[in-house]
Amino acid sequence: MDLELRHLRIVCAVAAAGSVTKAAAALGLAQPAVTAQLRRIERTLGGQLFERGRNGVRPTALGDLVLARARVLLPAARQLHDDAVRLAAAVSRADADSSALVRLGTTGSPYLAEMVRLLERSDPATEVVTSASFRASELLDQVRGDRLDCATIGCCGEHGMPKDADLEVHKVAVEPVCVMLHEAHPASSLAEVPLALLADEHWAWLPGDGCLDECFVAACARAGFSPRTGYESDSATCIEMSRTGRAVTLCLPTRRAPGVVVRPIAGGPLRWVHMMVWPARAAGTTLPKLLLQRAAEAYGQIVAATPEYADWLSHNPTFGPAAP
């Protein structure tokens, strides 16, 4: 006999009631049936679960073990059931009006906020829900599992773009990885900063599951040095590291904050590819085309709001928005 949740409920009921007879009454079962089930459970587990005496039953050491595990498993199973019911109901509601609900995941795309605004402005009935992760792989799993309609992610260089047959991938833009410096840093006045000038700096960057850290170390090696201590942290902490002069932060060119400046690395040794990913089965439907259009519009607007970067792009045509 395989142990089932109903068997664990019987064990817990007997322990709580202190007797098989009272447990049977609480469960709405006949006492002989509960006794027979308890014996089968004990045979399956290989030992006695309760000691029987004049004052009722008391758990054995084996019984205490089973009860401890059952008291974890039974509430978890109940929670699983309740969560599944709620999710099924939510999916059912979304299916009833799928055109009005767009589920987006992001690793922190700079154009996402404007993209959401454009989507909701173009169709006021559209509801956009978002979720975030530092790990693109986590979002891609959600796209495959139909828990997201689209993921806006990035990767270090085009070799990092997903190649799965079950995913459709479209580039939005290619950007240079830049450095964020304290506004009084000696290199802050340069239009582009050679990596070699930063050989003595500490470094900061956001976490992720790509190869940016490896590519950065390789770029430093080509510039003739090995980077010093690195700090992997959240966006606010990285900005503070640069603002206080504690570290130089690797960032994207449209990032702005008080007390810091952002400059491209001379020669563009590191590239960041912005992309949108949706299920391959959705290719040819209207939603992916709409999302890509709104992403392109949003990206164009954030570039236009950063004049020095827009000017830099005009002299570096291998970077910038992807071809439609």
The pLDDT of residue 88: 67
Are the beta carbons of 143 and 105 closer than 8 angstroms?
A: yes
Give every strand in the sheet of 248-251, ordered side by side: 230-232, 203-205, 248-251, 178-182, 260-264
Using alpha carbons, list the distances in angstroms from residue 42 to 47, 151, 252. 5, 51, 63
Q: Is residue 21 domain-shared with residue 63, that is, in the same domain? A: yes
204: which 2 tokens?
A: 């900061």
Helix (H, G, I), strand (E, B) or coil at 96: helix
CA–CA gap between residue 63 and residue 67 (Å, rounded)? 6
| Residue found by looking up tokens 């997201």 in the block | 148
Q: Which of 94, 126, 143 is the last residue of a domain?
A: 94
Q: Is residue 58 domain-shared with residue 188, that is, in the same domain? A: no
CA–CA gap between residue 61 and residue 108 (Å, rounded)? 52
Please state, as a whole number, how many other Cβ atoms lie within 10 Å of the Cβ of residue 192: 16
Residue 295 pLDDT level (bands cut at 50, 70, 90): very high
Question: What would the pLDDT profile of 250-279 be if each residue is shown by its tens digit?
Answer: 999 999 899 999 999 999 999 999 999 999
* Alpha carbon 257 to chain centroid, angstroms: 25
The overall average pLDDT reported for the chain is 89
Residue 93 pLDDT level (bands cut at 50, 70, 90): low
Q: Is residue 132 domain-shared with residue 74, that is, in the same domain? A: no
CA dihedral 241, 247, 251, 256 (to 10 degrees): 50
The pLDDT of residue 72: 87
The pLDDT of residue 127: 87
Q: Is residue 139 domain-shared with residue 260, that is, in the same domain? A: no
Query: What domain range is 185 assigned to?
Result: 178-269
Question: What would the pLDDT profile of 28-47 be if each residue is shown by its tens digit?
Answer: 888 888 888 898 899 889 99
Total number of domains in the chain: 3
The reply to whether the predicted model has a pTM over 0.75 is: no
Q: Is residue 147 domain-shared with residue 121, that is, in the same domain? A: yes
Q: Which of 69, 94, 119 is the last residue of a domain?
A: 94
Q: Is residue 218 domain-shared with residue 82, that is, in the same domain? A: no
Q: Is residue 276 domain-shared with residue 153, that is, in the same domain? A: yes
Residue 210 has pLDDT above 80, yes or no: no
